[in-house]
Amino acid sequence: MNLSELRWNEAVDLVLKSLVLAGGVIGFIAGRREYRRGQRWHKAQILLSLIDSFEKDPRITSACRMLDWDARNVKLPDGSSINFSNDKLWNALRSPEKDTEGNDSADPDAFT
């Protein structure tokens, strides 16, 4: 074997190793992409099942009716009804303030 044949064999070996490396990188990228696509699909399926359960739950339906209207008489799943308004929502969401004696100053009759 002469020097030119040895260099030729080394060049072919280098090219083959480079092609194998490039194929491995391409395979890794393609596999990762497919994995992420599958994960997104799985998350979408979970969200769809949660949305379905939310739409079928009568308590959540009542809460949505309360939030969708400014003022409305909403029937609850237990058969009772509540006269709901945005003022009641704002009172429920605000943080009660403490007076100087340490008592809550929230209006206890805000939800009646």
- Whether 1 is covered by a domain: the verdict is no
Residues 66 and 41 in one domain: no
Tell me which residue range forms the domain holding 75: 59-93
**Same domain as 51, residue 15:** yes
Q: Tell whether 71 and 46 lie within a shared domain.
A: no
Tell me the pLDDT band of 98, cut-offs 50, 70 and 90.
Answer: low
In a domain, 108, yes or no: no
CA dist., res. 31 & res. 36, Å (int)? 9
CA dihedral 61, 63, 64, 65 (to 10 degrees): 90
* Domain annotation covers residue 106: no
Q: Tell me: the pLDDT tens digits for 39-81?
A: 999 999 999 998 888 888 888 887 777 777 777 787 778 888 8
Find out whether 105 and 97 touch, Cβ atoms under 8 Å: yes
Q: What's the domain count of the chain?
A: 2
Same domain, 43 and 71: no
Mean predicted lDDT score pLDDT of the chain: 82
